[in-house]
Chain A
Amino acid sequence: MSLRRPAKNQPEIFEFSSSSLEEANKVVSKYPKGKQQSAVMALLYIAQKQNDNWIPLVAMKYIAKFLDMPYIKVYEVATFYTMYNLSPVGKYFVQVCTTTPCMIRGADKLVEACKEKISDKENELSNDKSCSWMEVECLGACVNAPMMQINDDYYEDLDKEKTVEIFDKILKGEDPKPGSYRGRLNTEPENNRKTLMDVKNA
Chain B
Amino acid sequence: MPKLKVNDIEVEVEDGLTVLQACEKAGAEIPRFCYHEKLSIAGNCRMCLVEMEKSPKPIASCAMPAAEGMNIKTNTPFVEKARKGVMEFLLANHPLDCPVCDQGGECDLQDQSMFYGVDKSRFKENKRAVPEKYMGPLIKTQMTRCIHCTRCVRFATEVAGVSELGAIGRGEDMQITTYLEQSMQSELSANVIDLCPVGALTSKPYVFEARPWELKKTETVDVMDAVGSNVRVDTYDWEVKRVLPLINEDINEEWISDKTRYACDGLSNQRLDTPFIKYNGKFEKASWSEVFKIIKSKFENSSKDKVCGFVGDLTNMETGYIFKEFFDKTLNNNNYDSRSDNRFLDNSERKNYIFNSSINGIEDADLIFLIGANPRYEATILNARIRKAFVNNNTKVISLNDVGDLTYSYKNLDGQTQTIKTIFEGSEEISKEIISAIKPMIIIGESLLKLNSAEHLFNIIKNFLMKNNKFTEDWNPLNILSCDAATVGNFDLGILNKEKNLLEELKSNKFEIVYLVGQDNLEFNKKEEFVIYQGSHGDKGAEIADIILPGSAYTEQDGYFTNLEGKIQKAYKASYPPGEAKEDWQIINELAEVMNNRKLFNDKEELESSMFNYLKLQQEKRTAKNQEKRNLEFQNEKLNIQLKDYYFSNVIARSSKTMIECNNSKFNIKSTGTEG
CB of A80 within 8 Å of the partner chain:
yes
Given contacts A70-B157, A70-B164, 7 further A-B contacts (CB under 8 A): A4-B169, A69-B163, A70-B166, A75-B168, A79-B168, A80-B168, A80-B169
Question: Mind listing 29 A-B residue pairs with CB under 8 Å?
Answer: A1-B173, A2-B173, A3-B168, A3-B169, A3-B173, A3-B175, A4-B169, A57-B180, A70-B157, A70-B164, A70-B166, A70-B179, A71-B179, A72-B163, A72-B164, A72-B165, A72-B166, A72-B178, A73-B163, A75-B166, A75-B168, A75-B179, A75-B180, A76-B166, A76-B167, A76-B168, A79-B169, A80-B169, A80-B170
User: How many Å lie between the Cα of A197 and that of B306 in the bound state?
Assistant: 118
User: How many Å lie between the Cα of A72 and that of B157 in the bound state?
Assistant: 11
How many residues in A have their beta carbons less than 8 Å from beta carbons of B? 14
Chain B residues with CB below 8 A from A4, complex form:
169
User: How many Å lie between the Cα of A84 and that of B178 in the bound state?
Assistant: 20
Chain A residues with CB below 8 A from B166, complex form:
70, 72-73, 75-76
**Chain A 1-28 near chain B by CB (<8 Å), digits 1 or 0:** 1111000000000000000000000000
User: How many Å lie between the Cα of A75 and that of B165 in the bound state?
Assistant: 11
Among A57, A71, A73, the one with the most B-chain Cβ atoms within 10 Å of its Cβ is: A71
**Chain A: minimal CB distance from B317 (Å):** 44
* 4 pairs of A and B residues whose beta carbons are closest in the complex: A70-B163, A72-B166, A79-B168, A3-B173
Chain A residues with CB below 8 A from B164, complex form:
70, 72
In the complex, what residue of chain A is closest to B180 when comparing beta carbons?
A57
**Chain A 57-100 near chain B by CB (<8 Å), digits 1 or 0:** 10000000000011111011001100000000000000000000
Question: In B135-188, which residues have CB < 8 Å from any A CB?
Answer: 157, 163-170, 173, 175, 178-180
Q: How large is the interface on B (under 10, 10 to 19, 20 to 34, 35 or more residues)?
A: 10 to 19
User: How many Å lie between the Cα of A79 and that of B179 in the bound state?
Assistant: 12
In the complex, what residue of chain B is closest to A61 when comparing beta carbons?
B179
User: How many Å lie between the Cα of A80 and that of B166 in the bound state?
Assistant: 11
User: How many Å lie between the Cα of A108 and that of B297 in the bound state?
Assistant: 99
**Interface of chain A, main secondary structure:** helix
In the complex, what residue of chain A is closest to B178 when comparing beta carbons?
A72
Chain A residues with CB below 8 A from B179, complex form:
70-72, 75
In the complex, what residue of chain A is closest to B175 when comparing beta carbons?
A3
**Chain B: minimal CB distance from A145 (Å):** 26
User: How many Å lie between the Cα of A71 and that of B168 in the bound state?
Assistant: 12
**Chain B: minimal CB distance from A142 (Å):** 24
**Chain A: minimal CB distance from B168 (Å):** 4
User: How many Å lie between the Cα of A57 and that of B167 in the bound state?
Assistant: 16
Chain A residues with CB below 8 A from B169, complex form:
3-4, 79-80
User: How many Å lie between the Cα of A9 and that of B423 in the bound state?
Assistant: 54
User: How many Å lie between the Cα of A161 and that of B166 in the bound state?
Assistant: 46
Chain A residues with CB below 8 A from B173, complex form:
1-3
Chain A residues with CB below 8 A from B165, complex form:
72
User: How many Å lie between the Cα of A57 and that of B180 in the bound state?
Assistant: 10
User: How many Å lie between the Cα of A94 and that of B167 in the bound state?
Assistant: 29
**Chain B 30-70 near chain A by CB (<8 Å), digits 1 or 0:** 00000000000000000000000000000000000000000
In the complex, what residue of chain A is closest to B177 when comparing beta carbons?
A72
Among B165, B170, B178, the one with the most A-chain Cβ atoms within 10 Å of its Cβ is: B170
Among A1, A57, A69, the one with the most B-chain Cβ atoms within 10 Å of its Cβ is: A1
**Chain A: minimal CB distance from B291 (Å):** 57
**Chain B: minimal CB distance from A68 (Å):** 11
**Chain B: minimal CB distance from A118 (Å):** 25
User: How many Å lie between the Cα of A57 and that of B178 in the bound state?
Assistant: 14
Chain A residues with CB below 8 A from B167, complex form:
76
**Chain A: minimal CB distance from B229 (Å):** 27
Among B157, B168, B170, B180, the one with the most A-chain Cβ atoms within 10 Å of its Cβ is: B168
User: How many Å lie between the Cα of A69 and that of B166 in the bound state?
Assistant: 13
Chain A residues with CB below 8 A from B157, complex form:
70
**Chain B: minimal CB distance from A97 (Å):** 20
In the complex, what residue of chain A is closest to B166 when comparing beta carbons?
A72
User: How many Å lie between the Cα of A69 and that of B179 in the bound state?
Assistant: 13
In the complex, what residue of chain B is closest to A70 when comparing beta carbons?
B163
Chain B residues with CB below 8 A from A72, complex form:
163-166, 178-179
User: How many Å lie between the Cα of A71 and that of B157 in the bound state?
Assistant: 12
In the complex, what residue of chain B is closest to A60 when comparing beta carbons?
B179
User: How many Å lie between the Cα of A4 and that of B178 in the bound state?
Assistant: 16
User: How many Å lie between the Cα of A70 and that of B164 in the bound state?
Assistant: 7
Among B167, B175, B179, the one with the most A-chain Cβ atoms within 10 Å of its Cβ is: B179
Question: In B460-496, which residues have CB < 8 Å from any A CB?
Answer: none
**Chain B: minimal CB distance from A14 (Å):** 16
Chain B residues with CB below 8 A from A76, complex form:
166-168
In the complex, what residue of chain A is closest to B169 when comparing beta carbons?
A3
User: How many Å lie between the Cα of A76 and that of B165 in the bound state?
Assistant: 10
User: How many Å lie between the Cα of A72 and that of B163 in the bound state?
Assistant: 7
User: How many Å lie between the Cα of A2 and that of B166 in the bound state?
Assistant: 18
Chain A residues with CB below 8 A from B175, complex form:
3
